[in-house]
Chains A and B, each alone.
Chain A
Amino acid sequence: MLFTLSDVEVSALAPDLIRNDFAVELRDVVKLYGTMAAVDHVSMSIRHNEFFSLLGPSGCGKTTCLRMIAGFERPTSGQILIDSKIMGLTPPFQRNVNTVFQSYALFPHMTVEQNVAFGLEMKGISRAEIVRRVGEALSLVRLPHLAKRYPKQMSGGQQQRVALARALVNRPKVLLLDEPLGALDLKLRKEMQIELKTLQRDVGITFIYVTHDQEEALTMSDRIAVMSHGKALQIGSPLEIYERPACKFVADFIGETNFLEGRVIAINGEFATLSVATGHTFTGRRVNGLQVGEIATLSVRPEKMQLVEHPVDGAANTYEVTVFSIAYVGSDTRVIINLGDQRLDVWEQNSTSTLNPDDYFFKPGEKAWLTFKPENALVLAQ
Chain B
Amino acid sequence: MSNETSTIVVMGEREEIFPQEPAERQRVRPGRLALVTITLLTFAFLYVPIAILVVFSFNDARTGAVWQGFTLDWYARLFRNERLLDAALRSLIIATVSTAGSVVIGTMTALAMERFRFRSKTFWDGLLYMPVIVPEIVAGVSLLLFFATAGIERGFFTLVVSHIAFSMPFVYLTVRARLADFDLSIEEAAKDLGADEWVTFRRITLPLLMPGIVSGALLAFTLSVDDFIISFFVTGKGWDTLPIYIWSALKRGVTPEVNAVSAMLLLFSATLVVGSLILQRRRSY
Residues of A within 8 A of B (CB): 70-72, 91-93, 97-99, 101-103, 105-109, 118-119, 122-123, 150-152, 166-167, 170
Contact = CB atoms under 8 A, between A and B. Distances in A.
A99 B208 contact: no
A93 B186 contact: no
Given A118-B195, A122-B195, A123-B194, A99 B189 contact: yes
A152 B208 CA distance: 14
B189 A108 contact: no
Contacts of A70: 188, 192
Given A122-B199, A150-B285, A152-B285, A105 B185 contact: yes
Given A91-B191, A93-B191, A97-B192, 18 more contacts: A71-B191, A92-B188, A92-B191, A93-B193, A99-B192, A103-B183, A105-B183, A105-B188, A108-B284, A109-B207, A109-B208, A118-B190, A118-B195, A118-B203, A119-B193, A122-B195, A122-B199, A151-B285
A103 B203 CA distance: 20
Contact of A101 (B185, B203, B204, B208): B185
26 contacts: A70-B188, A91-B191, A91-B196, A92-B188, A92-B192, A93-B192, A93-B195, A98-B192, A99-B189, A101-B185, A101-B189, A103-B183, A103-B185, A105-B185, A106-B186, A106-B189, A108-B186, A109-B207, A109-B285, A118-B203, A119-B193, A122-B193, A122-B195, A122-B199, A152-B285, A166-B189
A87 B203 CA distance: 26
B212 to A, nearest CB: 13
A121 to B, nearest CB: 8
Interface string B202-226: 0110011000000000000000000
B95 to A, nearest CB: 29
Contacts of B185: 101-103, 105
B190 A72 contact: no
Nearest to A150: B285
Given A92-B188, A150-B285, A107 B194 contact: no
Contacts of A170: 193-194
